[in-house]
């Protein structure tokens, strides 16, 4: 089998345990490195679980429908419009979905998409049908932007769902970025595939899928054309799900059925989060505009949370300033649990 560049080192920490008469206690953990993503992660054996589901009520009280720019009453007057050269109507529309410029842009081409009149949708209410137009309208926008500027190469569809994940509004919304250059993480993925092709003479994403299927430990399942797995070295404290769309690179190669398959898979993951008392997640989907097999369409999803009782953040100095993630969730265990839903 090909070497995917996954390495694991086991380290043991020792201390005298005050809860057991200061008896010496050992605790071992793994330092995992993923050469494809460049992520280093420390897998700890003590799993974190919520005692009860965090309450979403306080978010809804502070961010009610009455002041929401994405709810129907204020939408027309409060959301930005595109200049007429992009779309004369000002905003893209597809069914109940709308796409418009981000009022707080962090890129030249940075848009927001909403897909529902409902101010709040719980994780169990994010059904494939509800989300479908939200993803497809991003493709409408990408298509328009590509026609206007063929130098654009990379796009992404991103999601901060609820405040613990960085969501500034409760109303579910996706965010897109389009650019000539990839973001730093996408560049890492892209360059890994180029390097791999040069060294191994084959496609990294095809070989990675084969590797994970053969290993079996992190492979959740295949839907029709999408491979779902847990990440060897997650970027989140509660683990990470990765998906790869087989042999697909251009975002324009996706049909309605592909988007339905994608949203159906995502909705299963969200159900898993919901059943495990999470209320928040981050998601990103990366793709290219032109066909380019150095980046098969792929994405990542991590649950986000605040630790009770203080509401402690799941981000800390280790991730911010050492660029390593502390993850008290074993990816292979997470895989077995999510597999039941696939």
Residues contacting residue 236 through CB under 8 Å, at least 6 positions apart: 282, 302, 303, 304, 314, 325, 327
Please report how close the Cβ of residue 253 comes to Zn ion at its closest, in angstroms: 33
Closer residue to Zn ion (CB): 3 or 117: 117
Closer residue to Zn ion (CB): 73 or 290: 73
CB 95 within 8 A of CB 136: no
Among 91, 94, 119, 304, binds Zn ion (CB under 5 A): 119
Backbone phi, then psi, for 241, in 5-degree steps? Answer: -105, 135
CA angle 191, 195, 197 (to 5 degrees): 115
Query: Does position 70 bind Zn ion by CB under 5 A?
Result: yes
Query: Does position 300 bind Zn ion by CB under 5 A?
Result: no
Please report how close the Cβ of residue 265 comes to Zn ion at its closest, in angstroms: 26
Among the listed residues 300, 37, 324, 5, the one whose alpha carbon sits nearest the alpha carbon of residue 191: 37
Closer residue to Zn ion (CB): 54 or 172: 172
Q: What is the Cα–Cα distance from 141 to 114, expressed in whole angstroms?
A: 13
From 64-72, 156-164, 268-276, 318-326, give the range in contact with Zn ion by CB under 5 A: 64-72
Among 4, 41, 44, 71, binds Zn ion (CB under 5 A): 71
Cα distances from 287 to residues 7, 182, 241, in angstroms, run: 27, 10, 17
Closer residue to Zn ion (CB): 111 or 335: 111
Query: Does position 112 bind Zn ion by CB under 5 A?
Result: no
Q: Interface residues for Zn ion in 156-185 (CB under 5 A)?
A: 171
Residues that bind Zn ion (CB under 5 A): 68, 70-71, 119, 171
């Amino acid at each position: 089998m090909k070497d995917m560049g996954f390495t694991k080192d086991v380290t043991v920490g020792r201390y005298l345990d005050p809860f057991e008469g200061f008896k010496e206690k050992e605790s071992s953990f793994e330092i995992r490195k993923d050469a494809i993503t460049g992520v280093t992660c420390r897998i700890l054996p003590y799993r974190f679980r919520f005692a009860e589901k965090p309450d979403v009520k306080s978010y809804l009280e502070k961010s009610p429908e009455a002041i929401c720019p994405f709810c129907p009453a204020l939408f027309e007057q409060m959301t930005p419009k595109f200049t007429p050269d992009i779309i004369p109507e000002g905003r893209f529309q597809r069914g109940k979905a709308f796409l418009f410029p981000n009022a707080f842009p962090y890129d030249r081409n940075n848009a927001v998409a909403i897909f529902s009149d409902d101010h709040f949708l719980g994780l169990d209410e994010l059904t494939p049908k509800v989300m479908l137009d939200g993803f497809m309208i991003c493709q409408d926008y990408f298509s328009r932007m590509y026609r206007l500027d063929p130098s654009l190469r990379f796009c992404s569809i991103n999601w901060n769902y609820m405040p613990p994940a960085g969501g500034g509004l409760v109303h579910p919304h996706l965010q897109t970025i389009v650019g000539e250059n990839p973001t730093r993480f996408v560049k890492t993925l892209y360059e890994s595939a180029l390097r791999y092709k040069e060294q191994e003479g084959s496609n990294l994403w095809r070989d990675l899928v084969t590797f994970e299927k053969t290993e079996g430990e992190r492979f959740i399942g295949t839907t029709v054309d999408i491979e779902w797995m847990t990440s060897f070295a997650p970027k989140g404290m509660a683990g990470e799900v990765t998906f790869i769309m087989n042999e697909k690179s251009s975002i324009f190669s996706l049909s309605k059925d592909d988007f339905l398959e994608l949203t159906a898979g995502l909705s299963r993951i969200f159900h898993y989060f919901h059943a495990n008392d999470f209320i928040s997640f981050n998601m990103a989907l990366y793709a290219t505009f032109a066909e380019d097999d150095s980046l098969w369409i792929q994405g990542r999803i991590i649950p986000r949370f605040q630790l009770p009782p203080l509401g402690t953040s799941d981000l800390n100095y280790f991730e911010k300033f050492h660029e390593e993630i502390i993850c008290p969730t074993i990816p292979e265990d997470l895989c077995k649990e999510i597999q039941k839903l696939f």
